[in-house]
Structure formats: structure tokens, C-alpha cells
């Protein structure tokens, strides 16, 4: 029996067809997929904090509305993604518990602070840009519900990226102080954005299995290179410099060469010692704990409301 | 005309300041579903504020050049919102209690206002009424859930109502601005019976008592609509205006 | 025995000498005196809130330091006054309880909000000015500890009043927006300042007994008139108008005539329905309740620290 | 000279921002005696900030015209304070824990600085050291009381230490500014042994554990002294600067 199921799974993967919730999958696939989707969901939820930080202080009502809508979208993405994880048997409450107890990770980028309103633009440009590089291939993920969620998410992220870039364009046409803010934010977010693609291929042991399962489509270094190649002309057009003296066009490779990422910093951030890890998780935990009485009350009310109907049976 | 501008300003400031207080809840809600609902409501109100402030700027350019000048460059005493929207919510019970009161009242007002003699105001009100109907229902459902839920939620809900009730009376007080705009503005006293009836129904369903408390004192009769606010507003404005004021020559 | 004691008390009062803690006093005197001192202490403590509200936002570091020092003085005044009440057998913890449960009052003026930085100046000018009118005669209070506390307090209050008036003078020499702020604050605080002297003599039933006991030295209306006469030329010098169309010099009386105070508003505020009554008491109660674990810990530590010494005995 | 100005700015900003956080405690303390002690400490630090910022403005007028320009017209990234002083205290335990660390460190620094080659700085440090000795003792007494007091106070005290400890390491990191001022500035690494020893003594007396945690991450090595702060600072500045920014042409 298991052999037939396994055969069917392998065939599905081999033919680049989609695995659906009703299909049998190997335990490893299920576990890996749940972890991947959950971490992505957590990233959307935690990612609301650094951007949400500037909603109340956005300096124009139009920008405030754009930012508010963006953070709302992120909450929505979190919801689709948790639902996708649930189709694999995960439980949202348990995933939340994993997040607030620090047992599951989220994108390391959100452990950096947002220090000026320009950060909102740079997050749209670089962070959403890197996320899109990472996520576009996931629209072809072998797991159907995730792939479909990614299609919608990528569409919205592209929209957010354009809005971020447009904010930066406007700021670069503004005062010197605004241009300085954009440059400063770029300086702070450039390297952490490169870290978003994960460790170099040489130290990324799970990549091979994930690619075999159609969970991952490109290696970390391939995606990182793609992001750099995409970002350099955008930076030029914007008029900001990227904080890497080794960055230059390599005609032979047909790519930009770039300097070495500080993988020690990355390791520290992943281990929980970044500038905002404790703050982000504590914030999320507090919201969850402060809401416990509300969730209990809603459950109690739902139970009471059901009772009369049940008595009739 | 200055009266029309003043009227739009009052209705716009209600939405602007209340939206700000709702924005402060974002990432702090008890469930993800409530995060999206909250963002939605804050966004609707921000949209209403923008249209109303833009209308005010157009009707009386001496007030401010545009919606942003009005939002970011006025001082506390130039804001015309009711005091109900200024307070920081202590808990989720206060959030939904205030939202129920605010949305029920504003929906009743906007429903009448959609027949205003000013076509722009009428259109803003008609669009806003649809949004407010959702806000009211959302809040009403939560007030019922919490009033009926557990002992703790019931106690918190009742305390929330008791806390904000002194601010409710101010919503129904007519000012010189409405009096100067017959056929254009709505006398808020006229929507009291409807507002009361709906809130009473929700409270009855939730098993909660309508508080019986004196209204919050005024300054020789002057309150939010006259630019006399609570101390909370100053902190709202410090945050709201901080970036805009730090960069007076910037465009965003 | 009681007769001799009562005679001694009456003699002391009659000769305008001071009653001291060791002296016998009638129950009514003790109760009235404790209430008066406690209400005065409560007023100092609650009065920290409206002014403290602007410390973090004071627009110059010098003004910030002045305001911080002033609020510190108020805490100090509260402490002397509670101590004076304790010499009559009152307990500070009980008095605090009376305040935060709303059973004892404080000056009605602090139930009005401070809405701009000009309010800091106007509170110094008008509110401290009115307080000084009320308090200077109390330096001759028949109760010694209170009289002595008042000497020190009045000295400091005069200093605060000059600082407040100086701030307003500076603001009136500044921008139009600053002048508008001063005028607006004056408009808001004028009438509530007149209410600080209490109800008109005709409806102040306790005045006669208090004056006989040397607890009160002038009637409410006398002090109110003195305050108006003092303030009008100060307003002129400042360049602000006082919001009373009936205010004018009456050469015959040798005093300024002024309009009718809104005693209904006063009654509402005294009853707890002013703009800030609930806020002020709730703030004080929260501070007290949030501090409960600290006071308990300090007590527990003190008990432990004492034990070794006691064991030696 | 720019280095001296930058050094004064760093030490001044520490005091200015920390004083602000202490000011926010006023009217919220557990006892009246603590209100006056707190006001006293906040006032001392404000005084230190004023002298240091004035000195910075004098040493490099391009930074700002005077103490007020420096306090009210700089942006977040121009502030040079350590990140320890930015956080809002969750409770009284955090207040006294942070004060113990801050005052012990600064006292050790100011004691050495009172022999600075710059006579103005030396005088400021000598005066400040007397104040800081009181601050340190006040905080130390409370840390002992709470560590030793009840089960709850002990737990809160330990949690407070654990919370702020990741921010402590930054206090002892030398920057280019100190390096450029030999004989004038003090290398903060030199005061680490003394600071550690005093804090360890207090913690031992209080029965508390010295936390063993990783330092708070930086941005490619840049932290508070380089203008890279926590998100908390933006809110501090929004409040601190609100009135001054709203009235750019005013004098007070």
C-alpha cells in the first residue's frame, strides 16, 4: 500500500504536478513543508511590526493609508499561509505557540529596527524585492495550496514593492534630509536583505532534498545573485549608493560581483541575538496573552449559542 | 463657505483621530482575523477623514492648503473632534465598546447626511454609511460575545461601558456650525433616539447594563467641537505629526 | 479636667497663640483641621498631574528643569502636609485611601485639563496666585505645625508664581501663536481660578466656626475680591484680556467689580463631574495600586533586616 | 573641536534621554518619597545634559546653536546615546535595575573624567559624580530591598535584570570619538572592572543572579553611539520635541 502511495507521490513530483491535501506524502515532506509554510506565515505576522511601527507617524495621509493597507495585507497573507499549513494537519494555535516560544523562526530581516520613515520605502524596495525573488519560484511549489497562496501573495508583494520604490523616488526628489534618510535606510537594509536568501549553498545542507521534492526551485546563492543583479540598476535610478565597495559589473560572468556577507552577524540574528528578536517575539507574545480572555469569551459564547439548537435534536 | 468647512473639519477630525487610536491597536489584537478587521476599519475611517478634510480645505482655504496641512499642521485647539475618540483604550473591551458607540452614532448621522444639500458631503456620507454599517455590526457582535462570554469578559465589558459613557452625551450636542447649515448639516440631537435604541438592543442581547452616569464636564460649556479636548489629544498629535513637523519642507 | 483643657484651648485661640500637637483640642477642631490639611495635601499631590503632563514636552530645557523642580516641590509640600496631619493623629495610608476612593476632596481647579504649554504659565500665575491668597493667612493658622508648613509652602509658591508669570511674559513677546496660546489658557483658567476660593459666603456654612477657631482668617468672598484686584493689573501688564465683560474698576468700592461665577459648574466639579475628576483619581489610584508590591517588598525587607538585631536582645 | 563636541554630545544625550524616561515616571511612583527622589535624579541628569549639550554646541557650532537646538531639532540618527537609556520601563523593578547600571557606570566614568585635560569637562564630571553617587546608592538600596523582599519582588527584580542585561555590554565599547581624545576622554572599557564589581556586590547582597546573556545585536557593529538606536527612541523624540517643533520660531 505505502509503496503505491509513495510511487504516486514520486510520479506527481517527477511530472511537476501538484500534491493536494488528500494525497499521501512522506513524513519528511510533510514536516518540511509545514515548517516552510509556518515560517513564511510567521514572517508575515512578525513583519507587520517593523512597518506597523510607522503607521501612526506617516507624514502624509496618503502614505498612511498605503502603509496601513500593506500591513493589513500581511495579516491576510499570514492567514492564508496558516490555512495552507492546516491542510497538512498543522494546528494554527500550535504554530502560534511555536512562534511565541521561539521554537520556530521567521525571516531574519524583521529582527532589524525601522528607524525612519524611509525604512518603510526601503523595506518595500529591498525586503519585498528579496522576498519576491524567493517567492516567485514557490508559485511552482509542489504543494498545491502553498503554490496557490504564493500566486496571490506574490502579486500583492509586487504591488507593495512598487509602492515602496515610488515612495523612495518621491523622497529622493525632496529635501536633502529626505535623501539622507533614504541613503541611511539603504545602508542599514542592504546587507540584511542579502542575508534573506539564507546561508551560502556550501553551508545549506537541506537544499538538495528540498529541490528534489520541488519545495525549493533555486539555490540560495542563485537567488541572491538574481536579487543583486536586479537591485543595482534600481539603486542607480534612485540615486542611492549601495554600501558595498566590491560591488561591480563582471562582464565575463554576466553578473554583478559583490562583497562577502557577514555570516557571523547572520548566525547571531538567527540564534536570537539580533537587534530586535526579543522585542518582536515579546510583542507578539504579549498580544497573544493579552487576548486570551477575549478568545475564551468568544468560545464560551459560541458554546452557549450552540446549546439551544442541540437541545432540539 | 466657512461653516461648511468647519462642519467637514469636525466630521473629518472625528475619523482622523479615531483612526489613529485604532492604528495603535495594530499588531496587538487577540486574533489575526481581528487584525484584518481592525485594519479595515481604521482604513475606512482614514479614507473618510481624507475626503472630509480635503473638502474642508477646499471650502475654506484659510484653514489649510489640503488634507495634509489640516492633519499635520494644526494645534490641539484647532481640532474639532468629539472627546470620545481621544482616549487610549485600556483593553479590547474598551475598543469594541467605543467602536459600537462611535459607529452607531456616525452611521445614523451619515444616513441622514446622505440627503444633504451639499452633493459632495452627501456622496461622502453615502459611501461612509456602507462602511460604518460594517463597523457597527462588527463591534456589536463583539460586545455581545464579551457581554455573554465569561465572567471576566462580562465584567470587562461593563467596566468599559462605564468608563466611556460620560463621553457619549457630547455626541448629540448641536453647535453653531450645524445651526448655520440648515439643509446641509444634520442636527446630531435628531439621531439620538435611533442611536440609543440600537445600542440598547445590543446591550440587552449582551446582558449588559446601560450606564447611568453624569456627562464629562466641559469648560464653561465648551468641549471637543469647540477645541477644548482631553489631555490625551496632545499626545496623539505629538505622535501623528512628529515626522511631518520635523520636515516642514518635504513632500511625501 | 476637660473644662481646664477646654479653657486652655480657648485661651490659646483667643490670644492668637499656637495650638501644638501635645495640646488638648475639641474633637470638632481636630476633625476640621485634619480634613483641611488632608485636602490641602491631596491638592498638592493631584496638582502634580496637570503640570507634570507637560514636563516631557516642555519646549526648552530650562523650562523643563523649572517645571520638573516645581512638580518636585509639590510632592514635597504633600509630604510636609501629611506629616502635619499625622501630628493630629491621622494616618497617611488612610488619608491616601480617602483620596483614591474619592471620599476626600482636593482643590477643584485640578479637575481641568492642561491643554497647551501656556497652561503651565497660567497655572503659575493664576492658580498659584489664588492659592497664595488662600494660604498666606493660613501661615497664621491656630494649629502650629500647619502654620509652619504654610510659611515654607507660601515661600515656594511665590517663587513658582513668579516663574509662571515670567514664562507668560516671554511667550507674549514671542510669536502670534504663542500669544494666542496664553490668551486661550487665560480664558480657560480664569473662572475656575475664581472658584478656588469656594462658594460665596452666603452659602458657606462652616466659615463662622472656622474663623472662630482661627483655622480660617478671611471669608471666601473677601479672598476672591483680593485675588481679582491683584490679577487685573497683572493681566494688563501681560497684555491679555480676562474673559469677563463685567470686569471694571469701581472707584466707590475701591475694588474691581466682576461678573457672576457659574456656581452650577463649580457644584458639578465638586461632585466629581468635572472634565478630569475621574482621570485624576484613577491615575493616582493606579500609581498606588501598581506600587503595592513595592511597598510590601520594602516592608518585608525591613522586617528581615530588623530580625538579627532583635535576636541579639 | 569636533571630537570634543561629539564626546560631549554622547554623554549629554545619555543624560537627556534617560532623564526623559525618568520624567515619564513622575506621578506614577509607589510612594511620595520616591516621587521626590525620582524628580531629583531626573533633574540632576537634565542638568548634566544641559551643560554637556551647551559645551558641545560651543565646541562645534555646526552641530547646533545651543542646548535647545541640540535637544529639539536633531533627528534620531543624530543622537549618540547608548541604547540602554531608550527603553520604557515595564515596572519599578526595571526602573531601579536600569538606574543602578546607568549610575554605577556613569559614576565610574565621571570620576575618571574629573581629571580630564579639558577643564570644562572635568568640572562638569566632578559636579556630576557627586550627584551620581546618590543615584547609584538610591538604586542599589532599592535593588537590595526588592531582591530580598517578597517572592514577587525577587522575581520581578530578576526579570528586570534579565531584560536589560543585553544592553549593558554597549556601555563599555570605545568608539573613534574617545580614541581621538586621549587625555580628554575616558576609554569606557577601563571602567568595566569597577562597574562590574559594584554591581556584583549589590546583586549578591540582594540575592540576585547576574544574567548571562548575549549582547543585543548591532547593525554591522553600529549601535547607539553611532546613531543606530532602538525603535523606542523615535517615540521619545516625538514627545520630547513636539511643542518645540510645532513652534520653530518661538522663544520660551
- pLDDT tens digit sequence for B127-164: 999 999 999 999 999 999 999 999 999 999 999 999 99
Q: Which residues of B touch A291 (CB under 8 A)?
A: 29-31, 92
Phi, psi dihedral angles at D96 (to 5 degrees) = -75, -30
How many other CB atoms are found less than 10 A from the CB of residue C196?
A: 23
Q: Which residue of C has its CA nearest to B220?
A: C265
Judging contact as 3 or more Cβ pairs under 8 Å, the answer for D and B is yes
C-alpha cell at D33: 518619597
Q: Choose among D76, D217, D229: nearest Cβ to A268.
A: D217
Q: Choose among B214, B220, B230: nearest Cβ to C113.
A: B230
Judging contact as 3 or more Cβ pairs under 8 Å, the answer for C and A is no
Q: How confident is the model at residue C178 (pLDDT cuts 50, 70, 90)?
A: very high
The answer to whether C277 contacts B76, with C-beta atoms less than 8 Å apart, is: no
**Is the per-residue pLDDT at C164 higher than 80?**
yes
Q: How confident is the model at residue B2 (pLDDT cuts 50, 70, 90)?
A: confident
**Is the per-residue pLDDT at C1 higher than 60?**
no
What integer pLDDT is reported at residue A33 of this predicted model?
93
Any idea what DSSP says for residue B84?
A: G
What DSSP string describes chain A? -HHHHHHHHHHHHHTTPPB-TTS---HHHHHHHHHHHHHHHHHHHHHHHHHHTTTTT-SSHHHHHHHHHHHHHHHHHHHHHHHHHHTTT--HHHHHHHHHTTSS---GGGGS---STHHHHHIIIIIHHHHHHHHGGGGG-SBHHHHHHHHHHHHHHHHHHHHHHHHHHHHHTS-HHHHHHHHHHHHHHHHHHHHTT-S-GGG-TTHHHHHHTTS--S-HHHHHHHHHHHHHHHHHHHT---S-TT-EEETTTTEEE-----HHHHHHIIIIISSSHHHHHHHHHHHHHHTHHHHHHHHHHHHHHHHHHHHH-
Q: Which residues of D touch C38 (CB under 8 A)?
A: none
Element (H, E) at C256: strand C255-257
**Is the per-residue pLDDT at C217 higher than 80?**
no
Instruction: Chain C: list its partners (3+ Cβ pairs within 8 Å).
Output: B, D
What integer pLDDT is reported at residue D165 of this predicted model?
97
Q: How confident is the model at residue C213 (pLDDT cuts 50, 70, 90)?
A: confident
Q: Choose among B214, B220, B238: nearest Cβ to C273.
A: B214
CA distance A278 to A276: 6
Q: Are C59 and C117 in contact (CB under 8 A)?
A: yes
Any idea what DSSP says for residue C152?
A: H
Q: Choose among D75, D238, D248: nearest Cβ to B238.
A: D238
In three-state secondary structure terms, D99 is helix
Q: How confident is the model at residue C310 (pLDDT cuts 50, 70, 90)?
A: low
Sign of the CA dihedral running B1, B7, B11, B14: positive
Q: Which residue of A has its CA nearest to D230?
A: A113
* Average model confidence (pLDDT) across chain B: 97
Q: Please list, in sequence order, all residues whose beta carbon lies within 8 angstroms of the beta carbon of residue C311, skipping any fewer than 6 positions away.
A: none
What integer pLDDT is reported at residue C3 of this predicted model?
75
Q: Choose among D220, D230, D238: nearest Cβ to A57.
A: D238
C-alpha cell at A141: 511549489
pTM more than 0.90: yes
Phi, psi dihedral angles at C257 (to 5 degrees) = -80, 150
Separation in Å, CA of D65 to nearest CA in chain C: 13
What integer pLDDT is reported at residue C201 of this predicted model?
86
Spans in chain A with pLDDT lower than 50? 313
The answer to whether B241 contacts D237, with C-beta atoms less than 8 Å apart, is: no
Give the residue-averaged pLDDT of B203-220.
Answer: 95
Q: How confident is the model at residue C207 (pLDDT cuts 50, 70, 90)?
A: confident
CA trace torsion D103, D109, D114, D117 (10° rounding): -150
C-alpha cell at D118: 579639558
What integer pLDDT is reported at residue C67 of this predicted model?
98
pLDDT above 90 as % of chain A: 81
Element (H, E) at C248: strand C248-250
- Of C167, C78, C88, nearest to C124 by C-alpha is C167
Q: How confident is the model at residue C309 (pLDDT cuts 50, 70, 90)?
A: low
Q: Which residues of B touch D235 (CB under 8 A)?
A: 239
Q: Which residue of D has its CA nearest to C282?
A: D28
Separation in Å, CA of A117 to nearest CA in chain B: 8
The answer to whether B248 contacts D248, with C-beta atoms less than 8 Å apart, is: yes
> Per CB distance under 8 Å, which residues of D are interface residues toward B?
75, 234-235, 237-239, 241-242, 245-246, 248
Q: Which residue of C has its CA nearest to B234?
A: C115
Residue contacts between A and D (CB atoms, under 8 Å): 55
Q: Please list, in sequence order, all residues whose beta carbon lies within 8 angstroms of the beta carbon of residue A233, skipping any fewer than 6 positions away.
A: none
The answer to whether B92 contacts A62, with C-beta atoms less than 8 Å apart, is: no
CA distance D2 to D62: 9
The answer to whether D246 contacts B242, with C-beta atoms less than 8 Å apart, is: no
Tens place of pLDDT for every residue, chain D, 252 residues? 889 999 999 999 999 999 999 999 999 999 999 999 999 999 999 999 999 999 999 999 999 999 999 999 999 999 999 999 999 999 999 999 999 999 999 999 999 999 999 999 999 999 999 999 999 999 999 999 999 999 999 999 999 999 999 999 999 999 999 999 999 999 999 999 999 999 999 999 999 999 999 999 999 999 999 999 999 999 999 999 999 999 999 999
What integer pLDDT is reported at residue A310 of this predicted model?
56
Any idea what DSSP says for residue B219?
A: B
Q: What is the ipTM for the molecules in this complex?
A: 0.95
CA distance D56 to D58: 5
CA distance D5 to D2: 5
Q: Which residue of D has its CA nearest to A53?
A: D231
Amino acid at each position: 500500500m505505502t509503496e503505491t502511495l509513495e510511487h504516486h507521490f514520486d510520479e506527481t513530483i517527477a511530472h511537476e504536478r501538484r500534491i493536494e491535501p488528500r494525497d499521501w506524502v512522506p513524513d519528511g515532506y510533510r514536516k518540511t513543508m509545514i515548517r516552510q509554510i509556518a515560517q513564511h506565515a510567521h514572517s508575515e505576522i512578525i513583519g507587520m511590526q517593523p512597518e506597523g511601527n510607522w503607521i501612526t507617524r506617516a507624514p502624509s495621509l496618503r502614505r498612511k493609508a498605503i502603509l496601513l493597507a500593506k500591513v493589513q495585507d500581511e495579516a491576510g497573507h499570514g492567514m492564508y499561509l496558516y490555512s495552507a499549513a492546516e491542510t497538512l494537519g498543522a494546528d494554527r494555535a500550535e504554530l502560534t505557540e511555536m512562534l511565541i516560544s521561539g521554537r520556530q523562526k521567521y525571516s531574519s530581516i524583521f529582527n532589524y529596527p525601522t528607524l525612519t520613515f524611509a525604512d518603510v520605502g526601503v523595506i518595500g524596495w529591498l525586503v519585498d524585492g528579496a522576498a519576491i525573488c524567493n517567492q516567485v519560484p514557490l508559485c511552482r511549489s509542489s504543494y498545491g495550496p502553498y503554490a496557490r497562496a504564493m500566486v496571490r501573495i506574490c502579486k500583492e508583494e509586487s504591488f507593495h514593492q512598487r509602492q515602496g520604490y515610488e515612495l523612495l523616488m518621491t523622497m529622493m526628489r525632496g529635501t536633502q534630509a529626505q535623501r539622507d534618510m533614504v541613503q541611511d535606510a539603504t545602508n542599514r537594509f542592504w546587507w540584511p536583505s542579502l542575508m534573506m536568501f539564507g546561508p551560502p549553498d556550501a553551508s545549506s545542507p537541506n537544499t538538495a532534498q528540498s529541490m528534489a521534492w520541488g519545495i525549493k526551485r533555486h539555490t540560495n546563492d542563485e537567488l541572491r545573485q538574481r536579487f543583486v543583479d536586479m537591485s543595482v540598476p534600481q539603486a542607480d535610478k534612485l540615486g542611492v549608493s549601495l554600501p558595498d565597495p566590491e560591488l561591480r559589473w563582471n562582464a565575463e560572468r554576466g553578473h554583478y560581483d559583490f562583497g562577502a556577507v557577514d555570516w557571523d552577524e547572520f548566525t547571531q540574528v538567527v540564534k536570537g541575538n539580533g537587534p530586535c528578536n526579543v522585542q518582536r517575539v515579546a510583542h507578539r507574545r504579549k498580544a497573544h496573552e493579552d487576548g486570551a480572555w477575549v478568545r475564551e469569551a468568544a468560545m464560551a459564547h459560541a458554546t452557549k449559542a450552540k446549546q439551544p439548537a442541540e437541545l432540539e435534536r | 463657505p466657512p461653516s461648511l468647512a468647519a462642519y467637514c473639519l469636525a466630521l473629518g477630525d472625528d475619523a482622523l483621530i479615531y483612526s489613529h487610536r485604532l492604528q495603535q491597536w495594530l499588531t496587538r489584537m487577540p486574533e489575526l482575523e481581528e487584525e484584518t478587521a481592525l485594519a479595515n476599519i481604521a482604513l475606512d475611517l482614514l479614507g473618510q477623514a481624507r475626503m472630509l478634510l480635503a473638502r474642508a480645505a477646499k471650502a475654506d482655504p484659510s484653514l489649510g492648503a489640503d488634507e495634509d496641512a489640516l492633519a499635520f499642521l494644526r494645534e490641539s485647539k484647532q481640532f474639532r473632534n468629539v472627546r470620545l475618540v481621544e482616549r487610549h483604550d485600556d483593553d479590547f473591551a474598551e475598543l469594541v465598546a467605543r467602536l459600537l458607540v462611535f459607529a452607531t452614532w456616525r452611521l445614523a448621522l451619515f444616513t441622514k447626511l446622505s440627503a444633504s444639500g451639499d452633493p459632495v458631503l452627501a456622496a461622502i456620507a453615502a459611501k461612509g454609511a456602507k462602511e460604518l454599517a460594517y463597523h457597527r455590526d462588527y463591534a456589536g457582535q463583539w460586545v455581545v460575545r464579551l457581554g455573554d462570554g465569561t465572567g471576566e469578559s462580562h465584567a470587562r465589558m461593563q467596566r468599559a461601558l462605564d468608563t466611556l459613557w460620560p463621553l457619549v452625551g457630547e455626541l448629540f450636542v448641536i453647535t453653531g456650525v450645524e445651526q448655520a447649515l440648515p439643509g446641509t448639516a444634520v442636527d446630531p440631537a435628531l439621531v439620538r433616539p435611533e442611536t440609543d435604541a440600537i445600542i440598547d438592543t445590543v446591550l440587552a442581547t449582551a446582558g449588559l447594563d446601560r450606564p447611568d452616569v453624569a456627562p464629562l464636564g466641559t469648560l464653561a460649556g465648551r468641549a471637543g467641537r469647540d477645541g477644548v479636548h482631553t489631555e490625551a489629544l496632545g499626545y496623539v498629535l505629538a505622535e501623528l505629526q512628529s515626522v511631518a513637523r520635523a520636515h516642514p519642507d518635504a513632500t511625501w
